[in-house]
Amino acid sequence: MAEIEKKPVQIVETVLRDAHQSLVATRMTTEQMLPIIDKMDKVGYRAVECWGGATFDASLRFLHEDPWERLRKFKAGFKNTKLQMLFRGQNILGYNHYADDVVEYFVQKSVANGIDIIRIFDALNDIRNLKTAVNAANKEKNAEVQIALCYTLGDAYTLDYWKDIAKRIEDMGADSLCVKDMAGLLTPYAAQELIGSLKESTKLPIELHTHYTAGLASMSLLKAVESGCDIIDTAISPFALGTSQPATEVMVETFKGTPYDTGLDINLLSEIADYFRPIREEFLKSGLLNPKVLGVNINTLKYQVPGGMLSNLINQLKEAGKEDKYREVLEEIPRVRKDFGEPPLVTPSSQIVGTQAVMNVLSGERYKIVPKESKKIMLGEFGQTIKSFNKEVQKKIIGDEKPITCRPADLIKPQLPEFEKKVAKWKQQDEDVLTYALFPKVAEEFFEYREAQKTKVDMTKANKEAGAYPV
């Protein structure tokens, strides 16, 4: 009997970024993470996802920590393991589009301070919004560029669509491709079909990132790997399941003794889980880890709403004293999404569509109240959606204003010189300019806190080499 070819699946551990972002609103501190890094570094992960996404904002806003210093501490501790970040294309880690000079400088500084793999995505899968970040990352000889496609369902999202966009991503200069299933919508046999098709259209290594929200994720990872998926994202068990990822140990055991055997040591993983278990208990006691996010939420499949978006909606309705309208809002979301060109529901499109659905239901008239973000999406300020907007709705929202048809960032003049001026009085390190660029108000509060505490950036560890690209 012929021996089956070995094809070990690689693991990216998410506990230091997406796992705690998904379960406890990104509240794990650097001090809680550092003691276990040495052990995590011995595992043999493909990478540890530890930066980007909401960690940057949350570090400043809630933890009074400098995200750049966190990254440098990670780099000092992870001597054998690549560090990965999540980067929102032209939005970087914020919620608006930034000028190309800011995007380029942020990429440069991320790599200079320790990032090895940059996972870049756009909420609308508009690849024009990835171009600047991808080109900037490709200029950095130490960086790997991964482009993530936001997985979603809808008439336009056919296998041909996914195959075509994967080919375009390869042509853009990506080193790998990630299917980013942020809402946990990918069913096992759909995963088998999708990964199989992508394998036909691209030579790039393929990674699957999914969430356990609908209870499908482990089965979907299994089918994806059997269909040729090279890398999977998992979270160590105390911070797995629910709105997070499948458990690392479970997936390692699943593939043990098969051609996909990861080769990772379950005993070492067990010790890492033992470290994180008391931290999980602290979050449970404080109420930051709500047991509700740990269950299976079938509404995810029914309404295509990511877990974080659901909790957001509940909060909005609670504040308005209208929790009885929850079902109506859930039913309104797919209608708003259709009017808005059927975008994937991920930051910031998920918040925009969700908030608009809440406004439509609470006001008793569709699009009577329109938040400025809804107007921005209808003006094309976030880019191009896969399907056309509902023309009547667009007219109601933007009136006679002319929508943007070019890449939105083409209309934004260089911003770095202005940000440099504004941050001058607080600046201790070059990176402070980027912190301010993304979150001006939060950055000011953090810089004032830093001064009040009389803490200084450790310039022996700060990156002083990578200057901004010439504007």
* Whole-angstrom distance, CA of residue 385 vs CA of residue 382: 9
Report the topology of domain 10-291.
TIM Barrel (3.20.20)
**Is 305-405 in the same CATH topology as 10-291?**
no
* Residue with more model confidence, 314 or 107: 107
What pLDDT is recorded for position 1?
44
Mean pLDDT of the chain: 93
Q: Is the peptide bond before 408 cis (omega within 30 degrees of 0)?
A: no
Q: Is the pLDDT of residue 467 over 70?
A: no
Q: Is the pLDDT of residue 161 over 70?
A: yes
Find the mean pLDDT for residues 245-253.
98
- CATH superfamily of domain region 305-405: Conserved carboxylase domain (1.10.472.90)
Q: Is the pLDDT of residue 129 over 60?
A: yes
Q: What percent of the chain has pLDDT over 70?
A: 97
Q: Which residues of 356-395 are buried (b: 16+ CB within 10 A; e: fewer)?
A: bbbbbbbeeebbeebeebbbbbbbbebbbbbbebbeebbe
| 205-219 tens-digit pLDDT | 999 999 999 999 999
Q: 95 in helix, strand or coil?
A: coil
> In 3D, which of 382, 301, 379 has the Cα closest to residue 349?
382
Name the pLDDT band for 95 (thresholds 50, 70, 90). Answer: confident
Q: What is the DSSP letter of 456?
A: -
Name the pLDDT band for 470 (thresholds 50, 70, 90). Answer: very low
What pLDDT is recorded for position 3?
60
| 283-319 tens-digit pLDDT | 999 988 988 888 888 888 888 877 667 767 777 888 8
| 313-338 tens-digit pLDDT | 777 888 889 989 989 999 999 999 99
With vertex at residue 125, the alpha carbon angle to CA 121 and CA 128, rounded to the nearest 5 degrees, is: 85
Residue 68 buriedness (CB in 10 A; 0-12 / 13-18 / 19+): buried
Task: Break the chain into its structural domains and give their ranges.
Answer: 10-291, 305-405, 414-461
* Residue with more model confidence, 168 or 293: 168
* Whole-angstrom distance, CA of residue 131 vs CA of residue 184: 27
Residue 145 pairs with which residues in a beta bridge? 118
Find the mean pLDDT for residues 131-138.
97
Chain Cα centroid distance, residue 132? 18
The neighbour count for residue 141, using CB atoms within 10 Å, is: 6
What pLDDT is recorded for position 300?
84
| 392-423 tens-digit pLDDT | 999 999 999 999 999 999 999 999 999 999 99
Write out the two tokens for 317. Answer: 């309705």
What pLDDT is recorded for position 315?
75
* Residue with more model confidence, 456 or 263: 263
